[in-house]
Amino acid sequence: MDSFTPNNILVTGGAGFIGSNFIRHLLSSNSDVTITNLDALTYAGSQLGLTSCADNNRYEFAQGSITDSSLVTTILHNKEIDTIVHFAAESHVDRSITGPEAFIDTNIVGTFRLLDAARTVWGDNLASRRFLHVSTDEVYGTLSATDPAFTETTPFAPNSPYAASKASSDLLARSYFHTYDFPVITTNCSNNYGPFQFPEKLIPLMIVNALAGKPLPIYGDGQQVRDWLYVDDHCAAISRAISAGELGSTYNVGGNNEMPNMDIVHSICDLLDELQPRDDTKSYREQIEFVEDRPGHDRRYAVDASRIANELGWTPSESFATGIRKTVDWYLKNSEWLEAIKTEQHRKWLSENYTKRSKPAA
C-alpha cells in the first residue's frame, strides 16, 4: 500500500541519463507533481534530453551544484519541496580512476550538503517529506562466478574511487536516518541502459563507435559480468520506492539480466547488422578490439532484487532482448541528438581547458 504522495519534487542531476528519463517518466505518469531540476551541467549533463519538458509549466530547470548549500536551501524554501530524488553524481568509473577528486566533491560532499540543507529546511516536518538517494550495486564490490547475488545485507566492499564515493554517500544517508529520523530511502541498482545515455558507457559507446567505423574496445578478456536494467524499469522502481518504501531502508534494483560484456557487444553488433548493415556487408563484430583492462576491474555484479519485488511489487518489464532492441533503434533514429551532444561536450571541454590555460601564473 502506498504511504506517500509527492507534490513538489527536487530532482538533482536531472540533465543526466537516468535523471532526464525519470523527469520525462514522472511528467507523463503523474499529472499533479511539480519538478525542479537542479543540475550543474557538467560534461555529462545536457538540456538536449529535456526539450520535450521545457514548455511544461510543472517543470523548471535550475543550473547549479548540489555542493552550493545556499542555492539548495533557497530552492527547498521557494519551491516548497517535499521530495528530493537525488541522482546528481560523477558516474563514470574510468573517470574516477584518472581523476577521483570530482567524485569526492560531488558524490560525498555534495550528498552531505544536500542532506544537511534538507534536514535544516524541513525541520520537524518529516512525516510529509522524502529523500530518495539513488545509488549503485558497485558499493558491494565484486563477485566470483559462483557467489550468490548481492542482497541488501551484503557488506560494502567498494573497489573503485567511484564506488567508494557512492558507498560513502549511502552511509551518510543511512546516518541521517538513524541520527535525525531523516526520511531517507536508498536504491542500489545495476547497470542502466536506454535512450539518452552519454556515449562513454559501454552500450552507447559501442553503438556509436560501430556506426562511425571505429574500434569496439573490450577491456581485458570481456568476460566481466554485469546485470543490465532498462532505464524505464529503473524509473518505475524509484517511483515505487518513493510512494511505498520503508524509511531508512535500502532496496536493490536489478534487471534479471546477468551477461558478460562480450555477449552485450555481440548483441549490439548483430542488431546493427540487421538494422543498418555495413556498406561492405561484413559484420560489425569485425571492429571488436581487445584492449588493456581497467585497473581494479570488478569481475561480476549480480543483484538479488527480491526485496523490492516482494515488498513493493516492482519487477522489471523489459528483458535484455527487448530493451537492447529499443535502445539500438533509438540511437539509430536520434543521430541528431548524438551529434548535438558530442558538439556540446566538445564546447564544454574547450571552455574548461581554455580557462585553465589562460590563468596567470601565481
Which residue ranges make up the site for ligand NAD (CB under 6 A)? 12-13, 15-19, 38-42, 44-45, 65-67, 87-91, 106, 110, 134, 136, 166, 189, 191-192, 198
Q: Which is nearer to ligand DAU, 183 or 194 (CB)?
A: 194
162 is catalytic: yes
Q: What is the largest CA-CA distance in the chain?
A: 67
Q: Which is nearer to ligand NAD, 17 or 287 (CB)?
A: 17
Q: Which is nearer to ligand NAD, 229 or 272 (CB)?
A: 229
Pick from ligand NAD, ligand DAU, none: which does 12 bind, CB < 5 to 8 A by kind?
ligand NAD
Provide the residue count of the chain.
Answer: 362
Q: Considering 90, 137, 170, 227, which one is annotated as catalytic? A: 137
State the minimum distance, in angstroms, from the CB of residue 272 to ligand DAU. 16
Q: Which is nearer to ligand DAU, 6 or 158 (CB)?
A: 158
Q: Which is nearer to ligand NAD, 129 or 234 (CB)?
A: 234
Half-sphere exposure of residue 344: CA atoms within 13 angstroms, side-chain side: 17
CA–CA distance, 106 with 258 (Å, rounded to integer): 30
State the minimum distance, in angstroms, from the CB of residue 303 to ligand NAD. 10
Q: Considering 59, 140, 162, 251, which one is annotated as catalytic? A: 162
Instruction: Please state the φ and ψ torsions of residue 126, each to the nearest 5 degrees.
Output: -90, -20
| CA Rg value for the chain | 20
Handedness of CA 275, 280, 281, 282 (dihedral sign): negative
State the minimum distance, in angstroms, from the CB of residue 77 to ligand DAU. 31
CA–CA distance, 89 with 255 (Å, rounded to integer): 22
State the minimum distance, in angstroms, from the CB of residue 204 to ligand DAU. 9
Q: Which residue is nearest to ligand NAD (CB)?
A: 16
For residue 254, which of 237, 241, 270, 269 has the smallest C-alpha distance?
A: 237
State the minimum distance, in angstroms, from the CB of residue 67 to ligand NAD. 5
Q: Considering 82, 90, 138, 258, which one is annotated as catalytic? A: 138
Pick from ligand DAU, ligand NAD, none: which does 196 bind, CB < 5 to 8 A by kind?
none
Q: Which is nearer to ligand DAU, 83 or 96 (CB)?
A: 96
301 is catalytic: no
How far, in Å, are 63, 253, 308 from residue 316 at the CA level? 32, 9, 11
Instruction: Please state the φ and ψ torsions of residue 142, each to the nearest 5 degrees.
Output: -120, 155
Map 215-255 to HEC letters.
CEEEECCCCCEEEEEEHHHHHHHHHHHHHHCCCCCEEEECC
Handedness of CA 322, 318, 260, 135 (dihedral sign): positive
Pick from ligand NAD, ligand DAU, none: which does 224 bind, CB < 5 to 8 A by kind?
ligand DAU
* Residue 34 host element (H or E): strand 34-39
C-alpha grid cell, residue 60: 523548471
Residue with cell string 543483484: 303
Return the axis-axis angle of helices 17-29 and 231-244, rounded to nearest 10°.
Answer: 60
Contact positions toward ligand DAU, by CB under 6 A?
91-93, 136-138, 190-191, 201-202, 205, 217-219, 224, 226, 261, 294, 301
* Residue 10 host element (H or E): strand 8-12
State the minimum distance, in angstroms, from the CB of residue 335 to ligand DAU. 20
138 is catalytic: yes
State the minimum distance, in angstroms, from the CB of residue 193 to ligand DAU. 8
Pick from ligand NAD, ligand DAU, none: which does 18 bind, CB < 5 to 8 A by kind?
ligand NAD
Pick from ligand NAD, ligand DAU, none: which does 187 bind, CB < 5 to 8 A by kind?
none
Pick from ligand DAU, ligand NAD, none: which does 41 bind, CB < 5 to 8 A by kind?
ligand NAD
Q: Which is nearer to ligand NAD, 17 or 122 (CB)?
A: 17
Half-sphere exposure of residue 144: CA atoms within 13 angstroms, side-chain side: 2
Catalytic residue annotation: 137-138, 162
